Structure 1
């Protein structure tokens, strides 16, 4: 595979599956357009905010007779379940299939590496607003529609009439009201409820939420909320975990309604991914969890609200069985042996692609060829922009020493020298076996901010900035700074004091080996090419890793950088939280700016206010400009403005490589799976954005 070329290699996991049942009623398989062999073309214009009709939704003839899975039909015949047309909402969501109308039956066998099975929850959960399948914008999901007021300070969400929980109880604004009034506003409850910044007014207090009827939820704030509702689309942790609250079920555990219960009882019950009794709204709900927590089973929801184009209630597949396999090498071996039916995020890194290809025929699986990691940098090296004492990087770890190192790290000439001092092509050969694109650090190339032709030019400019290997230029910049070489051949600080650049690493990105190998090569190159002495600080599993980052005590840290929508995860561009390249400037912003009261004896408890005209100040101002910007197209332009600042003042992350293909594999009999996705950033919930309820097993 040629490095420097954007290639999508996705490996699908092979799954041991249960026998499939009868086909969904069909005269003959009706074939939809096949999955693309290449990723969907980027749109020529940015997406505009619309009320709720971003994608035309097909409808069924009024005479359509709904059909259902054989196991559900049996329960209906036995009087244990209402007829299918009584279980569906008034207007079921008609969902086109990619290849053909499916057959009912089968159990997907897959795996996860930790209790909580987040990689599977990504494609089970369906929020009110979801990502489009091609990641070019948002569209209604669980909600029927949504809209903003002219000034953006009021957001109205419409629920689907007749929607039901998996136990058959109605899903209405009563559930939202319970979540808001009895959980969010109840400060005694510390469980899985959402009280994030995106549900707050300008003064930090929570927005107002009203419920004028059974199907309408109204958000009100004193500032525009053009971006806020899109947070619900970002992975299961933004809607499913904190906001999906069945009032009829949870009230029996809430001390307000059940005097014999405690908030601990409520918190234990309030975990849909661990509690088989918890009613859900998705295609499959958790129904079995082994006593040792090593096996999960999610079973078809008989009240699921989507149907295919012939009126067959989805999902086609009966269940999803998940085993916990913590050892990555064991998971990779299982993938190679064809143990799993679908494998997203569990077959290792791009380095496993050759082995998995070799075993594909014997394992009866195929690769999804157009799934990328979406890394803007993997690895990348964040450069701390407000280095302070306390990290014990030097014996003389004094404020004075820290100030000199801080000045060096904040000098863009130093950062540019580090970037020009790396031979990225060699690093890709060493770390990735030639897989990946040599580039400077960006966010994901597939981000919707770059979908237009103008956006593509912005991306190319950013990716190429300071990314060429030019040791002569790098050394000239270091000479200009005043970093002289000592008798040992290593450069000193401008003051003449010895200097050692400390590089913190961990398994960020999902592979410790990648970070270890890359750091060793970066150390060798910076020492040989630039005369900068480097210490690699492997902090895998150590609690001080994040402390050093968040407290501003690190110099460089290895990272994996990716994101599709920077407005719902601003951190990689806008310093508004306490982490990454601007941890202390971000803490100042997140702590209420000048409203924060410092803790005595902790000089950085409120962070550090950015100096006027500094990169952090410019980027924070652009973030606030974006929050006030009404249209999606104009918000993309604000992102481009911020990227201009990063190019002019940066780099703040030294990128090495990016956009690696990922090993995503599926069994040869799996159907209707879109061959396009980005699995580095979790927020778009890939592959959940493509409606896995339409997948089926052709066997």
Structure 2
């Protein structure tokens, strides 16, 4: 992306924002002169809450659509709060019944799908949206959120598989509509995390009229997002630019979050308390894949809010602190360890890397032992990550800082293991299968500078144990599509928390989630049985003990190796007011302010 092209795009959008300066302020006081310019480091895929599964699309989905619950902007650890719900759910003592009341008078953004009528949000819209996750034709990657939980919902999906048609009008015993604004959800077994699942954007309310008007042959509505949220998508150039405009009739709220323990909170409260939100009238998002393009755009004050990934860290940071020359300009930084795991998986369905035979386990274990995670953090991320041992990262309920994996860096032992299980080296110096056949590992990564660096360091790893490797670099959306279909062989896969509980990470390796979030396509019966048991437990020592057993099962079978959690360094220009990176929320612009550009 050329620097002149970036400037041209930004200038055009600033002119467009200026042209709307005479428009009246919105009902929620969003000022059209207040324009926030933001960057995606990888392309979006689309904006159907039931389908989108990448972090970048989620920013837009979270701006246009609304879930029943959300999170306190300042509370750490993350704290659940009502969004469209009138209050937090009423949960039965046994954890099997949730009663949720909806705020009255919430309306969808106007759209031709509604004719000329105002369309009020009701609980029936949430029931419809939850059912969509189970429509076999739609093939949502988010079915797991409610799978095997709601009484009668799985059975409705099974019936659709037999008949070839999902009956959205069929009653589901677990969804009891007491009235337009009250929903009682009955569960098959206790689930004390359901409130957090209903704060995750795939459970956003989608209007049936909109789906029926705009759906494609698969039933997806990726290009016509219509929700009840604070912003509408008014411009979209795929893989390049998105513009969000404040919805004039959005109900808004008065900023009144309470300061937490962080010293910066008091300053944020002083600047924002009492303001009607949202304040920002327009959000312009640009896709800039290359590090240098993003850095130049921020340096030239062409971007207001910017994620500083590891490769750029030396430009702005010194030992994790913002360099004095940037601080002097008024630039400030919000820095957290992301609630994520970047882990390495080997496709368990692949004929080379998959399977649970001893020699296949030995191959995966040797690769895992040969990889130097600390070196990857240093070279690829410039030290802007922390190595992990456990599948649940810091800041997430269930994390164990004292856990130590049985898989550690030991290339000498890795080579010995391959020798023992018959992976002998040929005349070219590379190993063959125990049957004497040559084979190659295909490592997939994003088609950007980070992906290139990851490919290079993994080539070094494979060379150290005599395995052939070829690089496979693809655009981010293509990677997501391929791994959902179990087509990738191996990849470094980042997973950031959908909600701040260990369940959100342990489900990554659950067999029935293949085709959803189980990107390594692993199915180990012993693991799956224990995971099902954890679903019945509250967070605590009993559940943690099962999580430990599950982590060991994964290590014994070497289905994956846990790598690291990255720092998220967000740099903000001086005009941005009150920004603090939230560990779960993506689109913080609902809760911040920005000074109009001169």
User: Secondary structure at 1:145's aligned position in 2?
Assistant: coil
Task: Give the corresponding residue for 1:628.
Answer: 536
Q: How does 1:173-572 map to 2 (within 5 A)?
A: 175-178=122-125, 180=127, 184=131, 196-197=143-144, 198=146, 200-201=150-151, 204-206=154-156, 207-208=172-173, 209-234=175-200, 236=201, 238-240=202-204, 243-245=205-207, 250=209, 263-264=212-213, 278=226, 280-282=227-229, 284-286=230-232, 288-289=234-235, 294-299=241-246, 301-309=248-256, 312=274, 314-315=276-277, 317-325=279-287, 328=290, 330-343=293-306, 349-356=309-316, 361=326, 364=329, 366-377=331-342, 380-388=343-351, 407=357, 410-411=360-361, 413-439=362-388, 442-450=391-399, 455-458=400-403, 461-462=404-405, 465-468=406-409, 470-495=410-435, 497-507=436-446, 512-528=448-464, 530=465, 532-538=466-472, 540=474, 555-563=489-497, 564-568=500-504, 570-572=506-508
- Are the equivalent residues in 1 in contact too, given 2:32–2:282 (CA < 8 A)? no
Task: Show the 5 A alignment for 1:592-607.
Answer: none
C-alpha contact (below 8 Å) 1:111/1:323 kept by paired residues: yes
Cα-to-partner distance string for 1:205-260 (whole Å, 9 max, x where unaligned): 244322223431112244444444432222x3x133xx243x8xx4xx79xxxxxx
Q: 2:81 is matched with which residue: 130, 136, 139?
A: 139
What residue ranges of structure 2 are gaps of 5+ in the alignment? Answer: 1-9, 48-55, 111-116, 157-171, 257-271, 318-322
Q: For residues 552 and 617 of structure 1, what CA distance do their matches in structure 2 show?
A: 19
Q: Distance in 2 between matches of 1:195 and 1:546?
A: 14
| Map of 1:8 onto structure 2 | none
SS in 2 for 1:233: coil
CA distance in 2, matches of 1:267, 1:387: 32
Hey, what's the Cα distance between the residues in 1 that align with 2:72 and 2:379?
36
Residues of 2 paired with 1:486 and 1:150: CA distance?
A: 64
- The aligned length equals 516
Post-superposition offset of 1:16: 7.2
Match of 1:29 in 2: none
Distance 2:242 2:485 in 1: 39
* Cα gap change, 1:71 to 1:409, in 2 (>3 Å): farther
- Partners of 2:14 and 2:329 lie apart in 1 by 11
In 2: Cα distance, 1:288 partner to 1:491 partner = 55
1:295-341 deviations in whole A, cap 9, x for unaligned? 52321554425223499462151412314445545444322322122
Give distance in 1, aligned partners of 2:216 and 2:126.
13
Instruction: State the shift of 1:624 in Å.
Output: 0.9
SS at match of 2:591: helix
CA distance in 1, matches of 2:80, 2:459: 42
Change in Cα spacing, 1:315 to 1:533, as seen in structure 2 (3 Å) is: same
> Residues 644-676 of structure 1, C-alpha deviation per residue, up to 9 Å, x if partnerless?
3334x1432245x522323422111322222x4
Contact 1:505-1:516 at 8 Å conserved across structures:
no
Cα distance, 1:505 vs structure 2: 0.8
C-alpha contact 2:32 2:281 (8 A) present in aligned 1: no
Match of 2:36 in 1: 108
- 1:156 positional shift: 1.1
TM-score normalised by the chain length of structure 1: 0.61
Deviation (angstroms), 1:561:
4.2
Kept after mapping to 1: 8 A contact 2:527/2:553: yes
Name the SS of the counterpart of 2:534 in structure 1: helix
- What CA distance in whole angstroms lies between the structure 2 residues aligned with 1:191 and 1:494? 42
Contact 2:123–2:181 (8 Å) recurs in 1: no
| CA deviation after TM superposition for structure 1 residue 118, in Å | 2.4
CA contact (8 A) 1:486 1:492 kept: yes
Give the TM-score taking structure 2 as reference length. Answer: 0.70
Question: Does residue 639 in structure 1 map to residue 547 in structure 2?
Answer: yes
Residue 667 and residue 480 in structure 1: after superposition, are their counterparts in 2 closer, same or farther (change >3 A)?
same
Distance 1:371 1:171, change over 3 A: farther
Are the aligned partners of 1:375 and 1:660 in contact in 2 as well (CA < 8 Å)? yes
Tell me the residue number matched to 1:668. Answer: 574
Structure 1 unaligned spans of 5+: 1-12, 20-69, 76-80, 88-101, 255-262, 394-401, 587-615, 679-683
Residue deviations 1:42-64 (CA, integer Å, cap 9, x gap):
xxxxxxxxxxxxxxxxxxxxxxx
Change (3 A) 1:499 1:138: farther
Partner of residue 103 from structure 2, selected from 150, 153, 160: 160
